[in-house]
Amino acid sequence: MNRLFTQAQKKHMYIASGGRCQKCGETLGIDWEAHHINRYTDGGVTEITNGLAVCHSCHKKLHRGKTMQIKARGWQVEALEKSRLSKEISFLLNATPGAGKTIYSALEAGRWLQDYILDFVIIVVPTTALKGDSHAGFLGDWTKAGIEIKTQLKEGRGVPKEFSGAVVTYQQLPNLITTFKTWRDLGIKLGFVFDEVHHASERNTWGAATSECHAMAEKVLAMTGTPFRGDGIRISFVRYDNEGRAIADHNYSYREAIRDGVCREVEFYTDDGIAEYIIDENQENVRVSEATQEQEGMVKSVIFHKDSHWLETTLAKADEKLDQYRTGYNAGGIVICRPGNDENDDRHLLQIAKKIRMVTGEEPVVITHDDKDANAKIEAFRKSNQKWIVSVRKISEGVDIKRLRVMVMASKPGTELLFRQLVGRVVRQESRSEPETATVYMAKFPQLQEWAAQIMEEAQAGLRDREEREREPVTDESKTDFIPLGATHEDGGAISIHGEQFTAPEIRYAEEIKINDPLLSTTSVTTIAHILKKDGKKIEPEEVHEPLQAKKVRIRQDINKLVRRLALRIQEHSGSDRPAFAQVWQQIHQAAGVRDLDDLMDNHPLEKANQVHELLKQLMGSWENAA
């Protein structure tokens, strides 16, 4: 069977498409391409019923979407199968913090996109930190799954080309509803991923926005690590049982994560003490473990005070435990302070950081509640060898820093939801070869003890499940009710008939060269890869894995700088009272057909951005030579 579509087949596909790309809807140029819906390498036939007429940009994106560099865990495979068989628009996943919900969402979205159920996916997260970066979070994990996403969207603009999705915050969502409705009315099939969906409710604006998104969606994936809200308010479009807990379509508990070695076992140090204070001219001496609800507020103010002996002793113990973890391992610790709402609260956070310096002799990383550089600081800490990071709720959920092994709660979480989210920061297993542990230091308040005991009970049950599984004898599959349910695939490169080995990126690049050149139809992929390597063409994994978003952000910054320099130079020459930004962009529009920076980033390929960058350098050089 031929791999390439014939000219007659392509003519038929072009007419059937109405001369428009069957993915993005744009008019097809002379460089349009015929795409196999089911890949030729996966057994797809080269027939018009298995073909689409698409533009070059969409064809590249479609093949990128097929590239998986991540492997689904057992629970993820089970959840994906449940979702595939479901007839409902929405699917609610309840998985314990640290289990891998972000990876799961990428696998799910990849299926939606590859099966043409969707054209574009919008991911909604509680904070900007959860949008991720090139290595972690939604941007990093979805890129590993072969899905290019943006980390910002502007209202009123069209669907960004070269991307299959975007990630926004719940706070941004209400302002984008009109834009999403416009896209839908244009025939764009939309899907939504709501991360930590418990943040939405019937009583907040973004809760109402999630309901509107659900109404216009082809598919919705809602995810949570705690299937309830502390205030008991219901989440939009989610089903509930009689006890007010969300009914999930798939559950994966902390017990199961311990059993499977996905999460670490946590040990809790519940430090007690006596808080002394005067109220209404009466001196009180209250033991932390015996504090009533009326006394808790005063007790917290005393034990978490910067000069508290309780706090100093607890920090010293935690630092000693962290040093034990750091023997042969780059472990880190986190101190969670009370949430900051005003200047005084931030001052308390800084006072705790000062106390850490005094106790440990090292400077901690500090993340305030409104820190504009929070994401950069978190990323730097993730890669560094620094011991401690101090934060409020900025790192309470979703942020993936696997080297965190010790936590100090220098505050008292008010709900079980928040308590579990905080503990979830130190449970992420890094090594699958052997079980890991983590340690949490907290005040011995009765409610915290109860929640900690529940987590410990789940962990112990998971360990028992693991021991029982390890003791189970190996059985002969031929004597059991063995039912194969499927298998996952992961690219691993290739070996030529001469024994030469090629990496997966090298093979993918060689396949792309072969597909786009009919003269190479009879040439083996490994031969093409050999020629490319001999000619010095190096395809590194980093070149494949780096998100398109990261590349565009980098070139955007460079172009912005050049535009500003050029605008200022023209202003200086003309004697104008303001930089000549309009004149610069007019020249760019005339030369490259680009209206502005947003138009360049959203509607043109990376190659066009590189052309604009070179054009600006030439214009800048002309002005400097003239001077």
Q: Which residues contact 9 (CB under 8 A, 6 or more apart)?
A: 34, 46, 47, 48, 51
When pLDDT is averaged across residues 128-153 and rounded to a whole number, the result is 84
* Statement: residue 519 has pLDDT above 70: no
Beta bridge mates, 279: 282
Q: Which two tokens stand for residue 320?
A: 């000693």
More confident residue, 400 or 87: 87
Assess contact for 377 and 403: CB atoms under 8 A.
no
Residue 167's pLDDT band (cuts 50, 70, 90):
very high
* Statement: residue 261 has pLDDT above 90: no
Q: Which two tokens stand for residue 315?
A: 């920090």
* Statement: residue 336 has pLDDT above 50: yes
More confident residue, 563 or 244: 563
Which amino acid is present at 47? E
Q: What local confidence, expressed as pLDDT, does residue 228 receive?
A: 55
Highest mean pLDDT range out of 29-43, 74-88, 593-607? 74-88
Mind listing the pLDDT tens digit for each residue in 400-410? 788 899 999 99
Residue 497's pLDDT band (cuts 50, 70, 90):
very low
Q: What local confidence, expressed as pLDDT, does residue 191 receive?
A: 95
The sign one gets for the Cα dihedral 579, 582, 583, 587 is positive
Q: What local confidence, expressed as pLDDT, does residue 65 receive?
A: 47
Residue 544's pLDDT band (cuts 50, 70, 90):
very low
| Chain mean position to CA 126 | 12
Residue 357's pLDDT band (cuts 50, 70, 90):
very high
Q: What local confidence, expressed as pLDDT, does residue 528 receive?
A: 77
Q: What local confidence, expressed as pLDDT, does residue 55 receive?
A: 85
More confident residue, 506 or 441: 441
Q: What local confidence, expressed as pLDDT, does residue 479 receive?
A: 39
Q: Which two tokens stand for residue 11?
A: 């003519």
C-alpha separations of 222 from 246, 331, 384 in Å: 11, 32, 33
Q: What local confidence, expressed as pLDDT, does residue 29 receive?
A: 82
Q: How many CB atoms lie within 10 A of CB 265?
A: 19
* Statement: residue 132 has pLDDT above 90: no
Mind listing the pLDDT tens digit for each residue in 227-255? 555 556 677 678 887 777 778 899 998 88
Residue 490's pLDDT band (cuts 50, 70, 90):
very low
When pLDDT is averaged across residues 367-375 and rounded to a whole number, the result is 76
Lowest-pLDDT range, 235-244, 390-399, 451-460, 588-597? Answer: 390-399
* Statement: residue 347 has pLDDT above 90: no
Q: Which two tokens stand for residue 250?
A: 């798939």
Residue 543's pLDDT band (cuts 50, 70, 90):
very low
Q: What local confidence, expressed as pLDDT, does residue 486 receive?
A: 26
* Statement: residue 529 has pLDDT above 90: no
Lowest-pLDDT range, 133-142, 312-321, 449-458, 543-552? Answer: 543-552
* Statement: residue 145 has pLDDT above 80: yes
Burial class, 361, CB count within 10 angstroms (exposed 0-12 / middle 13-18 / buried 19+): exposed
Q: What is the 3-state secondary structure (H, E, C) of 9-72?
A: HHHHHHHHHCCECCCCCCECCCCCEEEECCCHHHCCCCCHHHEEEECHHHHHHHHHHCCCCCCC
Q: What local confidence, expressed as pLDDT, does residue 249 receive?
A: 92
Q: What local confidence, expressed as pLDDT, does residue 165 receive?
A: 94
Q: What local confidence, expressed as pLDDT, does residue 620 receive?
A: 85
DSSP H helical ranges for 492-545: 504-515, 525-534, 541-545
When pLDDT is averaged across residues 142-150 and rounded to a whole number, the result is 88
The sign one gets for the Cα dihedral 609, 610, 611, 616 is positive
More confident residue, 587 or 207: 587
The percentage of residues in the chain with a pLDDT greater than 70, rounded to a whole number, is 81
The percentage of residues in the chain with a pLDDT greater than 90, rounded to a whole number, is 19
Assess contact for 197 and 224: CB atoms under 8 A.
yes
* Statement: residue 496 has pLDDT above 50: no
Q: What local confidence, expressed as pLDDT, does residue 408 receive?
A: 94
Q: What are the structural domains of the chain? A: 1-66 (3.40.1800.10), 74-252 (3.40.50.10810), 264-272+299-471 (3.40.50.300), 497-537 (no CATH), 547-626 (no CATH)
Q: What local confidence, expressed as pLDDT, does residue 177 receive?
A: 94
**Exposure b/e, 562-576, CB count within 10 A at least 16 = b:** bbebbbebbbeeeee
Angstrom distance (rounded) from CA 152 to CA 139: 11
* Statement: residue 484 has pLDDT above 60: no
Mind listing the pLDDT tens digit for each residue in 279-328? 887 888 889 999 888 888 888 888 888 888 899 999 999 999 999 888 87
Residue 354's pLDDT band (cuts 50, 70, 90):
very high
Q: 276: part of which helix (H) or strand (E)?
A: strand 274-279
Residue 521's pLDDT band (cuts 50, 70, 90):
low
The sign one gets for the Cα dihedral 178, 180, 183, 189 is negative
Mind listing the pLDDT tens digit for each residue in 201-227? 666 777 788 889 999 999 999 998 765
With tokens 């054009």, the residue in question is 615
Q: What local confidence, expressed as pLDDT, does residue 229 receive?
A: 55
**DSSP 8-state code for residue 288:** G
Q: What local confidence, expressed as pLDDT, does residue 526 receive?
A: 66
| Chain mean position to CA 529 | 33
With tokens 């460089």, the residue in question is 31
